[in-house]
Structure 1
Amino acid sequence: MTTVHEKTPHRLRRGIVIAAGSTVGVGAALLVVVLAAGGLFARADYLDPWEQSYADTFEDPRMQLVAQAVLAPSSHNEQPWKIELDGSGANAFSLFADSSRLTPEVDPLARQTMISQGTFLEYLRVAGAAAGYEVGIEMFPGGDYDEAALSSSMDERPVARVTLRVDSPAPSSDHAALFLSDTNRSPYSPTAVTSAQTDELESLVAAGGASLTVFRDDEDVSVIRAATVRGSVIEAGNAAVAAESAAVFRSNEYVKNEYRSGFAVEGQGTSGVAKYLLQGIATLLPGSNGSDAAATRDIALATDGAASTSAYAIVTTAENTRADQVEAGMLYASFALRARALGLVTQPVSQILEEHPAMELERASIHDAYAPEGATIQMLARLGTATVDYPPTMRRDANDLLGAE
């Protein structure tokens, strides 16, 4: 005979099992909701350009090269490029800076935007050489910008006229590096950049006289390391700059496919299921990626990155014309590609070069130390060996760069 007292523990255990099962079920359902909100089941169209076969989907050789040049690094990953194909029958096109993609808070003089034109042109040149084209580049064929009406001038006057001439194909390790993620923000390994690697990187030259120097000695590294962290702290504390960055943060796969430019969680090195989880949280709880959280994260990334960095590269120009800025971008892109070919990775840490008022003292200080005789530091980057492979970031469809033909 079973007593009431004997039935009660059995019922209690069964109730606990049912409750636990329900909790697990609810938890699993919530996890699926979060992952789905992050875009787990969406196709990442924005990664198509990273496939080497992507360029082959275009018949026009100009667009085949443009399809590879879109992989170039750019300020805020805004990819501020417009293309106008020459309709005269010449194998040529014009490159314009896209004034709708300016970031005036962080880049009030549009210097970074012009450097981004240079990175595009260098990627184009490398892609052309591999495909069997000599890429001729004529800078500012329509004349210099009207700085008093910069945005409209950008729309009217091309940065460059590009002409393709048939040549012998010359595949290179630099071309292979085009298809590798261009920026790595992780802490770098203790493996030192070698003298041979330094010599090869410093041997890269730009047609207009931009120069690149790699700093590896302890004193210089210590000075630059501290300066880059201060720059990150200042930028993170600038509300206008933070708002501008937040405006181009893409919180999930659906938004990334819509815009295909700007920032995303990949910039923190996040990949796999963790990416969709973070994106889902950011989508369902937008406050989780608010300005305070972003500032704390950015400062931590900068501090950890600087602490592990034993080499920095600086790109300088004697003057600071628009052509100088473009040529500095070409040299930086050449440096970044060659670094990848040598087994190294890079990350721009150029916050202290920004021209907004909050950065004025830091900008002056780094120039006093590393830009003698009035030169301009155009780019500053970490250099080292990766501890983590960073995933590729969003890229626009090459067709979206087309303007009038």
Structure 2
Amino acid sequence: MKKRGVKKVMTIIFSCAAALLLLAFITLFLASGFLQPQKYLQPWDKSYAKLHKDPRVQLAAFGLLAANGHNMQPWIIKLDKNDPMTFYLYADPQRMSPQADPLARQLMVTQGTFLDYVAVAGQKIGYPVTITLFPKGDYNEQQLAQSMSDKPVARVVLKQADPQRSPLFNAVYLPDTNRADYKSDALTKQQVDSLESLNEGEQITTKIYQDKANVRKLGSFAIDGAVIEAGVPRVTKEASDIFRPNEYQKNNYRYGFSFEGQGTSGFSLYFMQGLVTLFPFLNSEKAASDLMIQSTKTSINHTPAYAMISSRDNSRASQVKSGMLYSRLTLTAHNLGLAVQPVSQALEEYPEMSKLYHGIHNTYAPEGQTIQMLVRIGKPTEKVPQSMRRDVMDLISK
């Protein structure tokens, strides 16, 4: 009788423990927003652009998928009221990242990434575009935010034509950034030639580095940049302020950072989201900084090559063109079976990064060029999830 009694008690204890564990998991997944529809992924649907009759809005929907700094999606579209085949792209001064990008250089690069996706999509859907940069003149740098509101980055004019086959178009739907490990395979000569041919004459160029000495040296710049950035509280706070820890916030804001950006998906995604939602201290600025350093080191240790985009000058137009070139690099890399990830912290222009900034420029841009992008590149070992995107109509100026 005593043995049966003990066995019964143990059964009750295990049953209660199992029930509590189940309750904990249910609570965790509910907190993560597991049951919420992922509205923030709607723009990635291949039928999304077709929901809009205006071809200008359709093209903006493709541009929305482009790579962009801090996933801020800082684009404003103004449709020409007098010409149904023209729209203007403005940089959104409300979506600057003044701590990490105090000179708004990355913001301008981001304008270019949008424009190149628009150009690739325009050829495919039968609306090729002509892009004119800064059609109303250059910015007033002393009143930059106001100037961004007053002057467009580009005028985009559509022309109706027969749709053209585009080998790059399908890559528009792939995540632009893959932070996972890359295989150790070196890029082939064909891959290198294809990527290095993506130049804007002699003004803006792409260079691939995959010899051991340069891979090691550039990897050190990338890691040192991450360490410095992680140690600047105002920069890390700027990033943590736009972190979306669960599905509710991702649907509400649809821009900024999330666990997907770190390559987390599936069960792990909801588990992490639930934990951080219930216990926010797990994603403190220090924890996030430590994770960034560790993930950067891991990524760099699994990087066979780097791509560098440099410009002869650092004008706003060159910054935009560098962004256009970066999008073309990304799409071409995807088409070649490769993945990319910017590791450009060493190129940021705040005081704490100054020594490293000058160090990489003295080494790789001795003739006064500006390095606009440093990118790890290689054959991916895994697929990564798509990141948040706003509704395209949020970009359209009323």
TM-score bracket relative to the smaller structure: over 0.9
Paired position in structure 1 for 2:363: 369
Asked if 2 retains the 8 angstrom alpha-carbon contact of 1:202 and 1:213, the reply is yes
Local SS of the residue matching 1:173: coil
Q: 2:268 aligns to what? A: 274
SS in 2 for 1:118: helix
Contact 2:183 2:304 in 1 (8 A): no
**Residues of 1 paired with 2:175 and 2:131: CA distance?**
26
- Give the match's secondary structure for 2:98: coil
- Over 6 Å off, 4+ runs: none
Question: Counterpart of 1:311?
Answer: 305
Specify the alignment match of 2:180 in structure 1: 186
**What is the rounded CA distance, in whole Å, between the counterparts of 1:205 and 1:380 in structure 2?**
15
Counterpart AA for 2:216: S
Q: CA RMSD in A?
A: 1.0
Aligned-pair CA distance for 1:10: 1.1
Separation (CA, whole Å) in 1 of partners of 2:59 and 2:155: 14
Structure 2 residue matching 1:95: 3-state secondary structure: strand
In the alignment, does 2:351 pair up with 1:353? no
Q: Does 1:89 align with 2:57?
A: no
Number of residue pairs aligned between Structure 1 and Structure 2: 398
Aligned to 1:4: none
Q: Are the aligned partners of 1:208 and 1:327 in contact in 2 as well (CA < 8 Å)? A: no
> Relative to structure 2, which stretch is displaced further, 374-383 or 301-310?
301-310
Alignment of 1:242-257 (within 5 A): 242-257=236-251
Matched, 1:284 2:311: no
Q: What TM-score does the superposition give when structure 1 sets the normalisation length? A: 0.97
Residue 297 of structure 1 corresponds to: 291
- Contact 2:55/2:127 (<8 A) preserved: no
1:202-222 Cα shifts (integer Å, max 9, x gaps): 111237931111111111111
1:109 aligns with 2:103: yes
Whether contact under 8 Å (1:207, 1:327) holds in the other structure is no
The answer to whether the 8 A contact 1:146-1:153 is kept is: yes
Q: Give the aligned partner of residue 175 of structure 1.
A: 169
Percent identity over the alignment is: 43
How far apart are residue 167 of structure 1 and its match?
2.3
Deviations 1:253-305 (A, max 9, x none): 11001111110001111101110110111111111000121111111111011
Q: 1:77 to 1:270 in 2, by over 3 A?
A: same
Q: Which amino acid aligns with 2:336?
A: L
1:230 corresponds to: 224
The alignment's TM-score, normalised by the length of structure 2, stands at: 0.98
Unaligned runs of 5+ in 2: none
1:340 aligned counterpart, secondary structure: helix
CA offsets 1:314-364 (integer angstroms, 9 cap, x no match): 001100011010000000000001000100000000000000011001100
Are positions 1:11 and 2:5 aligned together?
A: yes
1:108 counterpart SS class: coil
Cα deviation, residue 132, structure 1: 1.2
Structure 1 gaps of 5+ residues are: 1-6
Quick one: distance in 2 between partners of 1:208 and 1:85? Answer: 34
Matches within 5 A, 1:304-343: 304-343=298-337
CA contact (8 A) 1:225 1:306 kept: yes
In the alignment, the residues of structure 1 paired with residue 344 and residue 165 of structure 2 have an alpha-carbon distance, to the nearest angstrom, of 31
Residue from 111, 118, 134 that aligns with 1:140: 134
Instruction: Look up the equivalent residue of 1:293 and give its one-letter code.
Output: A
The aligned counterpart of 1:31 is 25
Instruction: Kindly state the Cα deviation for residue 8 of structure 1 after the two structures are TM-superposed.
Output: 2.1
- 1:133 deviates by 1.8
Question: Corresponding residue for 1:3?
Answer: none
CA distance in 2, matches of 1:50, 1:90: 25
Larger C-alpha radius of gyration, 1 or 2?
Answer: 1
Amino acid at match of 1:41: L
When residues 208 and 214 of structure 1 are mapped into structure 2, their CA distance, relative to the original with a 3 A threshold, is closer
Letter of the 1:239 partner, please give it. P
Kindly indicate whether residue 190 of structure 2 is the aligned counterpart of residue 196 of structure 1: yes
Give me the whole-angstrom Cα distance separating, in 2, the residues matched to 1:379 and 1:136.
Answer: 25
- Does residue 49 (structure 1) correspond to residue 43 (structure 2)? The answer is yes
Conserved? CA contact 1:206–1:330, under 8 Å? no
Paired residue type of 1:106: A
The reply to whether residue 393 of structure 1 matches residue 387 of structure 2 is yes
Aligned mates of 2:305, 2:83 — CA distance in 1: 47
- Which deviates more, 395-404 or 103-112? 395-404
